[in-house]
Structure 1
């Protein structure tokens, strides 16, 4: 975890690109915000979206929604790729 004072943003924020992780910003010794590169933010958003999709799928499975086997899923994907759906 990287923790830096808010003055760091005024002087040099290249650390966000170099570290590739969020930087916790403090102001007067207390937590004030988080700064990260746009690339790190994009990766974080993709991961959160993937986790949400997995969670939704698991909720559907537990609620009894019909599922398909791996073989059925592969067949459906091949058909979709070949334009047969």
Structure 2
């Protein structure tokens, strides 16, 4: 359920809004003169949204890359390359 409140509540009921965004992990939509104006959310919820957005963009990039080439990699190949890169990095080599 969306939490929609007038922007004046930000000043008059800040503690209640803060409690809502932290407990529910959902944003509170603030209106000004009956129209949407801004959204308030906890830092944790904001960071989660950023993380999800980043993952979505990376998956989209991978999907577009897959459409442009016929090259495919197994998970064994990918993890082997990652381990090799980590091993070289820990040995002080530039990767």
TM-score, normalization by structure 2: 0.75
Q: Does 1:58 align with 2:59?
A: no
- Greater Cα offset, 46-55 or 30-39: 30-39
The total of aligned residue pairs comes to: 85
Give 3-state SS (helix, strand or coil) of 2:62's partner.
helix
Residues of 2 paired with 1:75 and 1:17: CA distance? Answer: 41
* Aligned-partner SS, 1:82: helix
Deviation of 1:7 after TM superposition, in Å, equals 1.5
Distance in 1, Cα, partners of 2:32 & 2:26:
19
Instruction: Deviation per CA, 1:19-49: give whole Å up to 9, x if none.
Output: 2111111122222221112221111011101
- Tell me the distance in 2 between the aligned counterparts of 1:52 and 1:65: 21
Other structure's SS at 1:67 match:
coil
Residue 21 (structure 2) aligned to one of 16, 19, 23: 16
Give every structure 1 segment of 4 or more consecutive aligned residues whose post-TM-superposition deviation is greater than 6 Å: none
Is 1:74 the counterpart of 2:79 in the alignment?
yes
